A and B are shown apart, each in its own frame.
Chain A
Amino acid sequence: MSLVARLGARVGELTIDVDLNTAGGTLVLVGPNGAGKTSLLSLLLGALPAERGRLSIGDTLLFDSEQGVDLPVERRRIGYVPQDHALFPQLTVRDNLAFAVQSASAPMHRVDGALRDFGLEALAHRRPRSLSGGEKQRVALARALSVDPRALLLDEPLAALDVPARAEVRAFLAQTLRDRGLPSIVVTHDPTDALALGQRVAVLEAGRVSQQGIWDELAAAPATRFVEQFVAAASGRV
């Protein structure tokens, strides 16, 4: 299953006009600061209004300006993990998951299932403030996946972590994304993370996709100077 998006919108000063395809796996979205990466995630989620285009996940149509289809955020069922994880500070780990499961009207045994799958049982009664960055990331991921989303969007999932935690969480995240086989988009500014997390890359520059493909394609014929530098940085660090 793939997430296929062809969307256009004005977000503040920026015009976003993109054509994206997760092609059955994880698409890594990279680009310079201010390219519109986070705004693009908001468009996909339905939190910002798209003006034109079409968005589908598998056979499900979420947005189509011509047919007048525009599902609200609540009905798109796209999982989202923002950079700061957005865990509810007043709720325990377990209650964070329970809130999601209840909101989705899903069976409550999903909560225990997700706690088990993500190794969070020992942390179930802790509050987010007492968790490490890596633990928060795991809770956020477990919570997003506990409601069985159609797709998953991760915004800079490793940016908030310190160096020792980063490698461990990166490996865990890459494994999870592979195991779930869910159409996913991971935004990152870090070449090492980008290379580890997905086979396919889309480069966003000034609201447009300047190049999209697998790593080798980008390396063989970089379309812009940014792509060239990013691929070089990624391969240089392997």
Chain B
Amino acid sequence: MTAQRVALALIGALLVLFLALPIVSLFASASATDVASGLRHPLVWPALRLSLTTTLITLAIVVTLGTPLSWTLSRRQGRFWQALESAIQLPVVIPPAVAGVALLLAFGRRGLFGAVLGGAGWSVTFTTTAVVMAEVFVSAPFFVQAATSAFRRIDPQLVLVSRTFGASPLRVFFRVAVPLAAPGLGAAAAMAWARALGEFGATLMFAGNLPGTTQTLPLAIYTALEADLRAAQAISMALVVVAFSLLWFVRVTLKSSLEVS
């Protein structure tokens, strides 16, 4: 029996080893001087600034529009709403490159909606706006999925009782639903932010790789890799630290919110 348990654990350990090795190598193979000189590479700071600006704008858009949407989805039943919920999840499963092509076909110069934008003298492709659009497209479904489950965990009796007092739908949303789902919404936002920060494929295809305008951190890593592995490594380490912090935040807040409910 013990031997079998050990065997199972060992098989599992193989996967842990495989997952951990690249991350460990990322940190182990760099000296402090390497990191310092890597971070001084001219690609790094413009990309970091752009990544922070675009992901924070993305986060604001996703949370502002996604929270009411998630609340509505959590309260509705029936085939239409189920289909809508599945449709919103689509960007989670489609490859980022496909998202890039789809965005081009919608908002590119010859795209469905791009012609209208072009007529108004506004071209979004290869601009910072395109970066934000790509980030919103890939990260919003993560937020909506997690926020909808957070709203579904609210006791429906709390909502019903609020309505019996005469509370308007907006009051129920802002004073009951959002405060009660707050930890879950925070975790949802953190996940969406992490996804936006890591966004690469759709941004490359729809927004391009222009330093200072559309070159975010992941694109800077890709560019740096061709010339300076140390810079690529330093940016990668920074992204791993940020991503790990976000993941940790999500786990801690979700754990405490589940304990409360």
Q: Which residues of A contact B (CB under 8 A)?
A: 42, 45, 47, 72-82, 84, 86, 88-90, 99-100, 103-105, 144, 147, 149
Asked if B59 is at the interface of the complex by the 8 Å CB criterion, the answer is: no
Q: Which residues of B contact A (CB under 8 A)?
A: 155, 157-158, 160-168, 171, 175-176, 179-180, 260
User: Please, which residues of chain A bring their CB within 8 A of the CB of B180?
Assistant: 88-90
CA distance A80 to B161 in the complex (A): 6
Tell me which of A79, A84, A103 contacts B162 (CB under 8 A): A103
Given that A88-B176, A89-B260, A90-B179 are known contacts, is A103 also in contact with B166, CB under 8 Å in the complex? Answer: yes
CA distance A184 to B74 in the complex (A): 32
Residue of A nearest to B176 (CB): A88
20 A-B pairs besides A74-B163, A99-B175 with CB distance below 8 A are A47-B160, A74-B164, A76-B164, A77-B164, A77-B166, A78-B164, A79-B164, A80-B160, A82-B157, A84-B155, A86-B155, A88-B176, A88-B180, A89-B260, A90-B180, A100-B165, A103-B162, A103-B165, A103-B166, A103-B168
CA distance A144 to B160 in the complex (A): 12
User: Please, which residues of chain A bring their CB within 8 A of the CB of B179?
Assistant: 90
CA distance A45 to B159 in the complex (A): 13
CA distance A51 to B50 in the complex (A): 57
User: Please, which residues of chain A bring their CB within 8 A of the CB of B160?
Assistant: 42, 45, 47, 73, 80, 82, 86
CA distance A81 to B179 in the complex (A): 21
Check if B166 sits within 8 Å of A82, measured CB to CB.
no
User: Please, which residues of chain B bring their CB within 8 A of the CB of A84?
Assistant: 155, 157
Check if A99 sits within 8 Å of B155, measured CB to CB.
no
CA distance A82 to B200 in the complex (A): 50
User: Please, which residues of chain A bring their CB within 8 A of the CB of B158?
Assistant: 86, 88
CB distance from B143 to the nearest CB of A (A): 22
Tell me which of B161, B166, B175 contacts A105 (CB under 8 A): B166
Check if B176 sits within 8 Å of A104, measured CB to CB.
no
User: Please, which residues of chain B bring their CB within 8 A of the CB of A81?
Assistant: 161
- Which of B155, B157, B179: most chain A CB closer than 10 A? B157
